[in-house]
Amino acid sequence: MITGGTIKRLVADEFGITIPEMDGNCRSQRLAQPRRVAMWIIRFALGSSYSQIGRLFRRDPTTIHHAMAVIEDRRARDPDLAARMDRLLAACRPEAIDIPSEQIPDAAARMVDALVDEFRAVARRAALRDPQAFVARAMAMLAEGDAACAP
């Protein structure tokens, strides 16, 4: 099974750096670019949220959001980097799950239920930890149209 740690190791090996270097705070391109690539691959191979990626790299989710924007821009301008990232992403994709077509709707419904339960738990912890910040962020998301319940 592919994990965030597995992806970090794969990317570190590809770029010739160590995991401690990747996890460090150095902003040199030699280290920041592989770090961003690993974040991007984790996002798209595993479907991880910015918060989950942030925990894996010990960084704030806004830092992850910025890293995604930077790496997407670099990817668009550098075909060699894009090809390298595509190759790494392909190596990290889990194998397709073979579910009989008649069971797909039920499996999808169970997945939605599990995701909603997980979201509720995360939101509840955030609201209990800092109610004021939680309400402010929720209101901002609604205003920006980013929230699932936004009109």
Checking if the pLDDT of 7 tops 70, the result is: yes
Alpha helices, DSSP H, located in 29-103: 29-46, 50-57, 61-77, 79-92
Q: What is the pLDDT of residues 98-135, one digit of tens each?
A: 667 777 777 777 777 777 777 787 788 888 888 898 88
Q: Are residues 81 and 64 in the same domain?
A: yes
Side-chain-side CA neighbours of 52 within 13 Å: the count stands at 15
User: Does 119 or 19 have the greater pLDDT score?
Assistant: 19
Task: State the chain's mean pLDDT as an integer.
Answer: 87
Residue 149 covered by a domain: no
Query: For the segment 65-89, what is each residue's pLDDT rounded down to a tens digit?
Result: 999 999 999 999 999 999 999 999 9
Mean pLDDT of 47-75: 96
Number of folded domains that form the chain: 2
Q: What is the pTM of this model?
A: 0.63
Residues 80, 36 share a domain: yes
| DSSP secondary structure letter of residue 102 | G
Looking at the fold, whether 47 and 116 belong to one and the same domain comes out as: no
| Structural domain containing residue 28 | 4-92
